[in-house]
Structure 1
Amino acid sequence: MSNYRPYLFPIVLFLLQILFTLIFGFYSGYEYFPVSNVTDFENPPRGLVEFYYSMFTDIHVMMFIGFGFLMTFLSHYSYSAIGFNFILCAFTVEWALIMRGFMFDWNVSEQKFLVDIQSLSTADFVSASILISMGAVLGQVSPLQLIIMSFMEVPLQVVNEWIGTHFLCASDAGESMFVHVFGAYFGLAVAFVLFHSKILDSTLEKSRYTSDLFSIIGTMFLFCFWPSFNAGTASGIERLYAITNTYVSICASVIGAFLMSTLVKKGKLDMIHIQNSTLAGGVAVGTVATSNIGLHGAMTIGTLAGMISVLGFHFLLPKLQRIRIHDTCGVNNLHGMPGLMAGITGIILVFCGNRSNFLDHLTDVCLSGGKQRTNNMQSAYQAAALGLTLCIAIVGGLITGAVLRLPIFVQNFENFEDESNWHLPEVGEAGEAGQPSDAGSLNKILDRRFSIIPVANMNKNMQRRFSVFPE
């Protein structure tokens, strides 16, 4: 069995790629609407490329660059973090286009699902959910297990959102419930099943100065483009609300995160808080992003989200390990709790009447009278959608984790270590190749070539600054 085990990953990818190609060939088509035929730009048709493409590119950057670099904080796992993010996102987009095509975009007359720019954007939303789940198990699973996890998670996420939007008719403009809550608690459930004690003993689960700098690059990309994520499928005045509310809320979460990080760390800042908790406002405002919550409302949501996220990293993250959940990236603190906060905010906002805009999007397909729903009924269905999301995510994650533990998918590798999956570059002294590029040898080379002052003569503070790769 050990002879073919290393080749399972490309074999599975090849077979699934053939399957996806056949499905696209038989059941997909393009949908285009020329701009010359548009008469109402406040409610443009889905096929209008000129209206939706700019925000699609922003969302695309978030998935491939933002999430990718955000996960590079581990000192010996940066190749895997950004590389696995790359392949997983590309795979998920293909699979999500198919699943959402059959569930959301099926054209009965043509017997095909039609693909447009909005389809690509919503496929990226699905990939965000899977990348969040990946963050919970980062460094604990092989690339094959990530592909299997994505293959199982995508249908569950799409079906959950389809039930939540078509029958429960819950409003979740920024996908805080259907993407962030689902992805976080699905990933945590998988992490619970895959937990083993040696993860806690790993000496490689740490960051270094340079890896944290790369990670903060991902944070900056996500910060800049998050308004497009929450407003990507909105139009008219709701798009204005979504962009403005998200930007104000995410700025407020930066303030809240810096404030609380300084308090819990007794006068200093923790980089893990700055990399993650500063983004919590974008998640927490998502469900109500297209509503008239007022700038003061957006600021309140964002500030509280940033503070709560920091408290989660500081107090709750270590306690999760006691119940056999190892959350590598702290997705519960950035996506889980702020996502729950967004869902609860949506439940409360319904009682504010026209400010929520939730009742404007009801259809005759909705349960309990469709368009005739009262505010109380809509609030109950918002709560039902949040509860259903948690149930499907947790149960689905537990089942998926059990599948990933099957002997055929289990591979021996060092947790949080790139060398198990990548050919790493070698660095030799004096231009000679062949010497492993471990942290110690690199520090010796850098100390000798670039340190004007001998390291031994530096004080501790200077040694930390000049040692680029701490041993």
Structure 2
Amino acid sequence: MNVMLPSVTNVFSIMLNNDNHPTIMKEDGVMLILLCSHCNCPESFDLFVFALNWIPGFCASSRQPTLKPFEKFTIHGLWPSFEDSTRDPPRQQITQLNLNEISPIVHELEQKWPSVVISKGNKWFWNYEWTKHGTAAASVAETRGQLNYFKKAIELYDSLAVILWLDSAGIIPSNITFYDLSKVIDAVEGNFGYKTRFRCYYTSMDTSYLIEIKFCFTKNFQRPHYVEDADGSNPAHSLAARVGGKDPQKNAIEKFLHNFNDGQIFALIGIGLGFNHIRNYCFNSFGLSILIFSLCTQFALLLHNVFMQNNHIFIGIEEIMWAQKISIAVIVSIGSFHGKCNPLQIIIASLIEVPILMANKYIGFKIMKVADIGGGIHLYLFAAHFGLGISTMFWKYNDSRKRKLTSDNCSELGMLISIVLMYGLWPGLNAAFSRGDKKHRIVVNTYLSICSACVMAFAVSSLSDRKNRFTIKHLHIAVIGGAVSVSSVADMMITPYFALLIGLVSALSSLLFFIFVKSAIGIPGILAGFASAIFAYISSEKQYGYSLFQIFVARAPTANSSDLHEILSYLPDISAGEGRTNYQQFICQIAYVGVTLLIAILGGCLTGLIIRQPFFEPLKSEDLFEDNVNWVLPSEEEEYFGNESYCDIESSMDTEMNLQSLKLPQQRNGKRKNENYRDSN
């Protein structure tokens, strides 16, 4: 869907199909917004609608003589309205406009609220708006009286710099340039912070002229805090679907709730238990993952809107799921330096990582326009090397510290549960934001890759042991490798055979690195990057059809090209691209792997240098990989207090100082201190 924003010699022209965007609907050429708070007073009104005219479009659609059009949005009106829009609010007291009362702002009104129709001047226009709408707004203090009503309209006009919003998105008035409609909508709604509606003049099935944009405000001129699907003040949620309301089954929560739940379980249990393999560090590895996930999800929600260039915060199920993925990557990162840092250092490192990770994601998707549906590059490759960069800034292992890195049956069982959860949840997590055949391919390719990786893990693990036994750590590494390595190409036509091959290669290479180099960090992410480049190079329109441009958005034809117009007639949601060749896309995919590695390693090293400073109180050598430094363990409570209450112990000590009633503290190795205590008597 394309948009043209011509100069004054033409009009704002929209290539529009009414089924293409859920916020656009044609009803006698009028588009309404009904998105504000309820009011219980039946004699009052529910909301304000603030309307701006696009002068070139209005002049083109008007049947009456108009002034010479100029490139500008001007005020059409500030209208108290009911949610159902079937009637006008009652007027408190009908009075004619008094120019003397509004004289302090007449000059501003002439510039921002002019009448374009020649036969009806400014005074007539202002008087009409006042008598019809202004008198109905008297119940609100900010719009009570003629001067307050018009001043408030000017204040709202000044706060809605629509031309600047469009200009910042690269949308400039032109007679020949077309713009994607979704970009126009994003530019306006991203800055306003909520949904808007357009009033258009339709000249044909495919073309329309923008006449008006309508914005909604509550009666106290506030904007809602939730996305539209979660906003209870949206009247569409108060009407049955058969009478024009929104079908609850089409709410975003119905589409994404199961994916949301999968993401929570995957992050908190699947990833958390995966770090639970060190015997004396189970509480820290699992417990701190919950803290970091909760903290980073909130931080990522805020930054997501910054990097999406929104002036307001959107909170909804989709935004939370994006924040989930960021938090999962952060948890993966801290796995590289678990046990080497105290909780404060981990928190600081996580808060530093989130904006760096999101900046890297912005570079990949908005600037380089790479394909990375499952985050193999921008999430997991980044996370692995960011954590590695931090880890290198801390101590290196010696023999005494290596003895702490042992596991027991309980910790190994936790890792096995982690493997099962990741095995089952990862395919759906990769496909969370996809639909149709694309979603189908993602699930199939991810699942096959994990299956083949598991088989390879059992084979390699058996061959690497003298007694042909299996190692749970090997299986854990293989499952992660199989899922991550295919995640960047899961939506591509890689065929099931290559999905299986990717899993095999990833598991084999990761396990060989782990067995001989003692580390497999980042190997699956690098494989994901190279796989995405290879399949980007061999992909073609013959293989994918027009859906190729949904996967590789930069390969779509450029704006205003005849090829793009042809594609839009079949897939209207395709955006104008750069006309990249498969070779250029290959270079971009490879380059993004290098950019991600550079940003992650440098960012990790710099973060490590920051958090190792003395004022963060780094852990001492004897406190590394120990739970009891940060957690009160159940065994400690039993050791110090036994089965007696504190009061019982205190009483006993007061009477005869009976030290025999206390259990002696134990050392960390589980043996009692070998000290001699004498009776106080």
Note whether the superposition's TM-score is higher than 0.5: yes
SS at match of 2:606: helix
Aligned to 1:80: 284
Q: CA deviation at 1:145?
A: 0.5
Q: 1:187 pairs with 387, 392, 395, which one? A: 387
Q: CA contact under 8 A between 2:556 and 2:579: conserved in structure 1?
A: no
Q: Map of 1:18-417 to 2, 5 A cutoff?
A: 29-33=225-229, 48-104=252-308, 106-107=309-310, 111-197=311-397, 201-266=401-466, 267-317=468-518, 330=519, 332-333=520-521, 336-354=522-540, 355=543, 359-363=549-553, 370-413=577-620, 414-417=623-626
CA distance in 1: counterparts of 2:556 and 2:526, whole angstroms: 23
AA at the equivalent of 2:455: I
* AA matched with 1:78: C
Change (3 A) 1:190 1:439: closer
Please provide the CA RMSD for this pair.
3.1
Contact 2:556 2:580 in 1 (8 A): no
Residue 423 of structure 1 pairs with residue 632 of structure 2: yes
Give distance in 2, aligned partners of 1:83 and 1:49. 29
Which string of whole-angstrom CA distances, capped at 9 and with x for unpartnered residues, describes residues 262-315 of structure 1?
122242222211232233111110000111211111111111111122112101
Decide whether aligned partners of structure 1 residues 197 and 353 sit closer, same or farther in structure 2, where only a CA change above 3 A counts.
Answer: closer
| Structure 1 stretch displaced more, 358-367 or 212-221 | 358-367
Inter-partner Cα distance in structure 1 for 2:537 and 2:514: 32
**Structure 1 residues 102 and 199 mapped into 2: Cα distance closer, same or farther (>3 Å)?**
farther
- The runs of 5 or more residues in structure 2 that have no matched partner are 1-221, 230-235, 559-575, 645-662, 672-681
Which structure exhibits the higher relative contact order, with contacts defined as CA atoms closer than 8 Å and separated by 6 or more residues?
1
Unaligned ranges ≥5, structure 1: 1-25, 318-329, 443-471
Change (3 A) 1:198 1:27: farther
TM-score, structure 2 as length reference = 0.54
CA contact (8 A) 1:28 1:114 kept: no
1:363–1:294 CA distance, 2 compared to 1 (3 A): closer
Q: Return the alpha-carbon distance in structure 1 between the equivalents of residues 224 and 586 of structure 2.
A: 37
Could you tell me whether the CA contact under 8 Å between 1:71 and 1:81 is conserved in 2? yes
Q: What does residue 465 of structure 1 align with?
A: none
Distance 1:163 1:367, change over 3 A: farther
Q: Which structure dedicates a bigger proportion of its chain to strand?
A: 2
Q: Deviation string for 1:79-131 (max 9, x for gaps)?
A: 11111111011111011111112112x44xxx313122221111111112111
> Superposed, which structure 2 residues align to 1:422-461 within 5 Å?
422-426=631-635, 427=638, 432=643, 434=663, 441=670
Q: Is the 8 A contact 1:157 1:178 kept in 2?
A: yes
Q: Is the 8 A contact 2:612 2:618 kept in 1?
A: no
Cα distance in 1 for residues equivalent to 2:265 and 2:364: 27
Note if contact 1:252-1:303 (Cα within 8 Å) is conserved in structure 2: yes
Higher helix share: 1
Q: Is the 8 A contact 1:168 1:367 kept in 2?
A: no
CA offsets 1:179-238 (integer angstroms, 9 cap, x no match): 110000000011111124558634211111111111211121111100122111112211
Cα distance change, pair 138–55 in 1 and its aligned pair in 2 (3 A): same
Residue 210 to residue 197, structure 1, CA distance change in 2 (3 Å) = closer
* Structure 2 residue identity aligned to 1:247: Y
Change (3 A) 1:365 1:406: farther
Deviations 1:317-369 (A, max 9, x none): 2xxxxxxxxxxxx5x44xx1011101100000012224576643455799999
The aligned amino acid for 1:127 is S
Measured after TM superposition, the shift of residue 169 of structure 1 is: 0.5
Q: Structure 2: how far apart are the matches of 1:58 and 1:125?
A: 11
Instruction: Give me the whole-angstrom Cα distance separating, in 1, the residues matched to 2:398 and 2:491.
Output: 45
Give the conservation status (yes or no) of the 8 Å contact 1:194–1:401: yes
TM-score by length of 1: 0.77
> Is the CA contact (8 Å cut-off) linking 2:415 and 2:472 kept in structure 1?
no
SS of equivalent to 2:419: helix
Counterpart contact for 1:78–1:418, Cα < 8 Å: yes
Task: Name the amino acid aligned to 1:397.
Answer: G
